[in-house]
Amino acid sequence: MTGLRLQAPPVVLSAPSGAGKTTIARALVEREDDFAFSVSVTTRPPRAGEAHGRDYWFISDGDFREMVARGELAEWAEVHGELYGTPRDGLVRAAEAGRHVVLDIDVQGARQIREAVPEALLLFILPPSVEELFRRLKGRGTEEEGAIRRRLTTALEELRAAEAFDFFITNDDLERSINEVRTLARTGRQPPGGGSGTLEDARKLREGVEALLRQERLP
Ligand code: ADP
Ligand code: 5GP
């Protein structure tokens, strides 16, 4: 990304799975002309309702490897056994148009973006509580007990990476969260009244998820 003049810094949203980052990212991009969604490439199959080119570019393992080899991805990572990556050209186009590109990516990807685009804003979305995180993970209805346990384990890994982020947003009230991301992106500062989350909140959630995973059966 070197050499690009960025009028509007990219916004990276990471979160423990189920915290609501996709919901926030989608709402912002739908409502605001100066925000654009970075559509990732992935090797995972589409879920019901997902569209090629809108939610992801669904590609084969071989095509993904070729994109990596040609240097076409700004970052990439393996998540839940599938490959995910951010196409460089989407970032370049948004930068040229002066729009904030919103990246809904995992913490491994966030670290790589920090290296590649130092001015990027790294935001960590937190659920209001462990109970609510669990409820949202189950509420999507697409996951079985084994899959929920795996997602909780990933959530734990994501929470362990929280130190690398610039700001924390507790996604309790969705409108407030959207407003907070918008204000942070445009001004680099939190809205009046301060931020809704802290690194300490991330630490407490981590302990809560650890306790949940120690239980033999999930509630
Ligand atoms: P993520 O992308 O972080 O895994 P999603 O955006 O898919 O999470 O959200 C997980 C679930 O939580 C979805 O069912 C979504 O509608 C719900 N959700 C998101 N934000 C809120 C909120 N502020 N209050 C209540 N439910 C929410
Ligand atoms: P899902 O398969 O549920 O859509 O996404 C699984 C995880 O992969 C989520 O944490 C999501 O943010 C992350 N992810 C999606 N796209 C990318 C990407 O391009 N790069 C990285 N590193 N992670 C991604």
Per-residue pLDDT of the chain (219 residues; tens, 9 = 90+): 544 445 789 999 999 888 999 999 999 999 999 999 999 999 999 999 999 999 999 999 999 999 999 999 999 999 889 999 999 999 999 989 999 999 999 999 999 999 999 999 999 999 999 999 988 887 766 668 888 888 889 899 999 999 999 999 999 999 999 999 999 999 988 887 777 899 999 999 999 999 999 987 887
Residue 57: its H or E element: strand 56-58
CB 87 within 8 A of CB 74: yes
pLDDT of residue 3: 45
Residue identifier of the C-alpha nearest atom 2 of ligand 2: 44
- Mutation test residue for ligand 1: of 23, 84, 106, 169, the one with most atoms within 8 Å of CB: 23
Q: Give pTM, 2 decimals.
A: 0.92
C-alpha span between 81 and 117 (Å, rounded): 26
Report how far residue 198's alpha carbon sits from residue 192's, in angstroms, rounded to the nearest whole number.
16
Contact 40, 85 (CB under 8 A): yes
- pLDDT given at position 146: 86
24-60 burial, b at 16+ Cβ within 10 Å, e below that, comes to bbbbbbeebebbbbbbbbbbeeeeeeeeeeebbbbbe
Calculate how far, in angstroms, residue 5's C-alpha sits from the geometric centre of ligand 1. 33
* Contact predicate 90/38, CB 8 Å: yes
Give the closest residue to 9 by CA, choosing from 93, 107, 101: 101
**Type of residue at 47:** R
Structure tokens at 93: 């186009």
Task: Give every CB contact of residue 144 below 8 A, 6+ residues apart in sequence.
Answer: none
| Predicted pLDDT of residue 2 | 47
Q: Are 89 and 121 in contact (CB under 8 A)?
A: no
Angle at CA 209, nearest 5°, toward 12 and 133?
60
pLDDT of residue 21: 94
Please report the atom of ligand 2 found closest to the CA of residue 17.
Answer: 10
pLDDT at 80: 82
DSSP H helices, 61-163, are 61-69, 88-96, 107-116, 130-139, 145-160
Coil, strand or helix at 123: strand
C-alpha pair distances (Å), 137 with each of 4, 68, 80, 103:
38, 31, 15, 21
Q: Which atom of ligand 1 sits closest to the CA of residue 23?
A: 6
Which residue lies with its CA nearest to atom 26 of ligand 1? 136
